[in-house]
Amino acid sequence: MEIKTKKINGDFPSHDRSYKKFYESKNFVARLINMEDQSERSIKIQPWNKVKELKSKLSKFLGVQAINIRLFYQNLEMRNSLNMLDYQIVDSSNPKIYFKLQNSSKKHDFGIWVYAAFPANTKLKAIISEISKSFYNGLVPSMLMGGTSGTYNLKGLDKNVIAVFKPIDEEAFAPNNQKGYVEKFGHESFRPGILSGEGSIREVAAYLLDKDNYFDIPETTFVEILHSTFTKNSNEMMNFDIEEKSLSKMKNSIVHNYILDNFIAGKLIKKSEDKTTLNKDEDEVLSTANFRKKYGSLQRFIKNTEVAANFGSDLFDVR
C-alpha cells in the first residue's frame, strides 16, 4: 500500500529553496496541550519542521525521551516523518497540538484510553477507569452475536456490563468484520452514503450533536483498546486497504491512521520475526506503534428489554 504525502518533508531540496524563502515569514507559536491535565506549553515552530523535530523540542521542556511522546492534531496522530506542511499547519493562529506521554519500555498486554482529544465527561472517564481495572482482574470483552458489525460488551468489576465498544475495522464491510461482511475500508455499507469505517465516528458525532440531551443518546466517545481478545488474527497480514474511490475522502482520517499503524508495524514485526535487523528508524516506529490496538466508539451501556429490530415499527413515535 502506497501512502502519498507531499514532497516538502524536513529540509528543502536545493531546487525548492524558493518554498522555504516564502515560508520564512510564516514562523508561528504552537500551543502544546497535555491531554492528562490540560496544561500548556508554547513552542516556536516552522512549517517545514518534521513532527520528530517538534517531539524533540517538547522532550527538552518535559525532561522525557521524545520516543515517549505522542502528538495529535485535529484528533489525528502525527507521524514522525511528516512535517507541519503535511498537516496544513501553515497559517494557523496558535494551532492546538495535543500530546500524550507513554512509557515505551513498558509493554502493555491490555488497556483502554480515550483516543487523541476526543471529549469524555466525568462519567465516561469513570467507566473507562473501571474497564481498565476489570481487564487487570481478568474480565474480557465479549462479542454480541446479533447485528452485522462487531459489537463488544465491556464489564465493570462487579461483572455487570457498563459499556459497549464498536471497533472501526469490524464494522459491516470493513476488513476485519466477523459476521461475513468483509470488504476494504470505504466500501458502501447497508445505508447509501455511509462508508465502512465511518460508523463509529458517526456515533460519537451523534452524541456530541445531541444538544441538551434532547434525544437521550448515552454518553459516547472514541477510544483505543488493547486486549488479547482482539489479537486472534494478529499474526496474519490482514487487508487494511481503502477502496480506491473512497481514498480521497478517507486520506488523513482516523481510518487512515489505523491502517498506517497496523500495516507499517505489521510489516516490521514480520521483518523482525524473520531475523532481519531493523534500522534505527524502523526500530523506533515498531516500539511506538499502536499495532494490535483497536480504535472505535465507546458508549455507556443502557439496560434494555430487547433490540429494536424485534419490535414492530408502529411502536415507535416518529413525530
Provide DSSP, 77-105: EPPTT-BTGGGT-SS-SS-EEEEEE--TT
Among 62, 57, 80, 85, which residue's Cα sits nearest to residue 70?
80
The pLDDT value given to residue 265:
52
Among 136, 174, 181, which residue's Cα sits nearest to residue 296?
174
Domain boundaries, the chain: 25-101, 111-304
The pLDDT tens digits for 190-244 are 888 888 988 999 999 999 999 888 889 999 999 999 888 876 544 344 555 666 6
Q: Given a cut of 80, is residue 85 above it in pLDDT?
A: yes
Number of Cβ within 10 Å of residue 140's Cβ equals: 14
For 300, phi and psi rounded to 5 degrees?
Answer: -60, 135
Lookup result for grid cell 448515552: 218
What is the Cα–Cα distance from 224 to 164, expressed in whole angstroms?
13
What is the Cα–Cα distance from 57 to 318, expressed in whole angstroms?
55
State the pLDDT confidence band at 304, using cuts at 50, 70 and 90: confident
At the top level of CATH, which class does the domain 25-101 belong to? alpha beta
Q: Given a cut of 50, is residue 2 above it in pLDDT?
A: no
The pLDDT value given to residue 234:
43
DSSP state at residue 243: -
The pLDDT tens digits for 7-51 are 333 444 444 555 555 555 566 788 999 988 889 999 888 888 999
What are the residues whose beta carbons fall under 8 Å from the beta carbon of 27, sequence distance 6 or more? 44, 45, 46
Q: Given a cut of 70, is residue 81 above it in pLDDT?
A: yes
The pLDDT value given to residue 105:
54
